[in-house]
Amino acid sequence: MQARTAVGGTEERMAEEAAIIARVLASLQDVDSGAWNTLLAQQSHPTPFMRHEYLAALESSGSATPRTGWTPRFMTLWQGDTLVAACPLYLKSHSYGEYVFDWAWASAYEQHGVPYYPKAVIAVPFTPVPGTRLLARDDEARALLLRAVCQWCGDENISSVHMLFASDADTRVSEQQQLMLRRTVQFHWTNDAPQADAGRYTSFDHFLSTLTQDKRKKIRQERRRVSDAGVTFRWSRGADISTADWDFFYRCYERTYLEHGNPPYLTRDFFARMAAHMPEAWLLFVGERDGRPIASSLIAIGAYESSATGPNDSDSGSEPGTGLVAYGRYWGALERVDCLHFEACFYQPLQWCIAHGAVRFEGGAQGEHKMARALLPVQATSAHWLAHPAFAEAVQRFLDRESAGVENYLESLHQRLPFKQAP
């Protein structure tokens, strides 16, 4: 499917803008991967999850498809044959796999006999990682792209548009377009010792030395429990991750979901595509006991910092200064060992980040317990457009109240930071 519409076109607008055409595509395969990734590399907050390979794999593997409640639509802006802006857009028949919860909004619509689904999300399915969502050559094209999305959704009788875990640039244009903003809290670790002029951590022990005594003692106790249980860890990155290790990881990942009574969001084929098409983006930890693998955690790696500096042209990640960002993503275990989750998902990745000069480790959605491991609270932002004026007004009132609560929550968290005070 390919829908076309002129964007802009008023007499007051520049002739160049009027020449920009919006095309709504049903598959990312209809967009050249080089054009998409080149546009991504120009953004202020790129992540591996917005790469063409990642999004295409979600579709091709059957993970994000109409069958699973994610109908792909990709909004693209073209000037002639040149892609000037684009974003992933999914029509949703439910609100699973988003991590920004709107169940109460859907319930209110239902109670008033107004359809909430299908709705549209500008997001990376199943991936609560902040980053650029509106790929654009400049802010003008970014604004045009967002207007085109809302216009198309209005024309298609889509109830709403939800841009999840947006970048600062996306947030600014959303405010300009009068979308409603919503704040949530995540927990990120930064490779920056809190003492003045201390710079990056030189070792895991150096990192521990900056924490309060109780936090330091707790982490050492948790790591000792895993070690005393006879569990050791090894890691592999990129092409060094074997097919057998990918298979074992998936057994662990699948088991985590099945234990909670749900099938996994991502298929084995999705990870096969990751191994084939963007192996450099993955770091795998495998926990072993008595020569047998018993647990694993999969970490995503971006070869650039999420900053205005753009992509780093080094992908080795072996030296400080490469701007690596690590993203905690998936884990699972076949055996129960006390504190194994903390070791696999936090301590092993943080130790790797310190050794390889990574600038940040993002711990994913929710989880105040992460603060005890020095993952500190940060704001994540989503933007929302609702077609129904009365519901939009009600949601805005709700967001005003919620925003005040989030601010108070953040203030409370910042009063409980895990670092010891400077002498």
Q: Is residue 420 part of a domain?
A: no
- Taking the model in full, what pTM does it have? 0.91
Give residue 73's domain range.
2-185+379-414
Q: Is residue 368 part of a domain?
A: no
Number of domains making up the chain: 2
Report the alpha-carbon distance of residue 113 to residue 109 in Å, rounded: 6
Report the alpha-carbon distance of residue 95 to residue 123 in Å, rounded: 12
Report pLDDT for 317: 38
Residues 108 and 256 grouped into a single domain: no
294 in helix, strand or coil?
A: strand
Report pLDDT for 364: 81
Residues 60 and 154 grouped into a single domain: yes
Rg over alpha carbons for the chain, rounded to the nearest Å, is 22
The distance of Cα 173 from the centroid of its chain, to the nearest Å, equals: 20
Residues 161 and 294 grouped into a single domain: no
Contact predicate 128/345, CB 8 Å = no
- Token pair for residue 60? 């091709």
Q: Is residue 371 part of a domain?
A: no
Residues 145 and 164 grouped into a single domain: yes
286 in helix, strand or coil?
A: strand
> Which CATH number belongs to the domain containing residue 225 in this structure?
3.40.630.30
Residues 46 and 113 grouped into a single domain: yes
For the four alpha carbons of 236, 335, 254 and 264, in that order, the dihedral sign comes to negative
Q: How many CB atoms lie within 10 A of CB 126?
A: 21
Residues 164 and 311 grouped into a single domain: no
Report the alpha-carbon distance of residue 105 to residue 280 in Å, rounded: 39
Annotate 211-240 with b (16+ C-beta within 10 A) or e (fewer).
Answer: beeebbebbeebbebbeebebebebebbee
Report the alpha-carbon distance of residue 21 to residue 336 in Å, rounded: 55
Residues 247 and 196 grouped into a single domain: yes
Report the alpha-carbon distance of residue 249 to residue 193 in Å, rounded: 33
Q: Is residue 262 part of a domain?
A: yes
> Which alpha helices (H) appear in 299-419, and where do they start and end?
340-342, 348-355, 389-414
Residues 111 and 244 grouped into a single domain: no
Report pLDDT for 204: 97
How does pLDDT run along the chain (423 residues), one tens digit per residue? 455 544 443 333 434 555 899 999 999 999 999 999 999 999 999 999 999 999 999 999 999 999 999 999 999 999 999 999 999 999 999 999 999 999 999 999 999 999 999 999 999 999 999 999 999 999 999 999 999 999 999 999 999 999 999 999 999 999 999 999 999 999 999 999 887 567 899 999 999 999 999 999 999 999 999 999 999 999 999 999 999 999 999 999 999 999 989 999 999 999 999 999 999 999 999 999 999 999 999 999 996 544 333 333 333 333 434 589 999 999 999 999 999 999 999 999 999 999 999 999 999 877 889 999 999 999 999 999 999 999 999 999 999 999 999 999 999 999 999 998 866
Q: Is residue 177 part of a domain?
A: yes
Residues 162 and 270 grouped into a single domain: no
Residues 46 and 99 grouped into a single domain: yes
Cα–Cα separations (whole angstroms), residue 247 to 254, 333, 335 = 11, 13, 17
- Token pair for residue 120? 């549209």
Contact predicate 192/200, CB 8 Å = yes
Q: Is residue 374 part of a domain?
A: no
Report pLDDT for 311: 34
270 in helix, strand or coil?
A: helix
Task: Tell me the residue type at 382.
Answer: S
Report the alpha-carbon distance of residue 182 to residue 396 in Å, rounded: 9
Q: Is residue 423 part of a domain?
A: no
Q: Is residue 290 part of a domain?
A: yes
Report pLDDT for 18: 58
Report pLDDT for 365: 79
Residues 26 and 64 grouped into a single domain: yes
- Token pair for residue 12? 């007051």
> Which of these, 80, 154, 168, lies nearest to 389 by C-alpha position?
154
71 dihedral zone (left: phi>0; alpha: psi -120 to 50; beta): beta
Residues 217 and 274 grouped into a single domain: yes
> Which of these, 2, 7, 6, 36, lies nearest to 144 by C-alpha position?
7
**Nearest-5° Cα angle at 303, 208 to 325:** 30
Report pLDDT for 308: 31
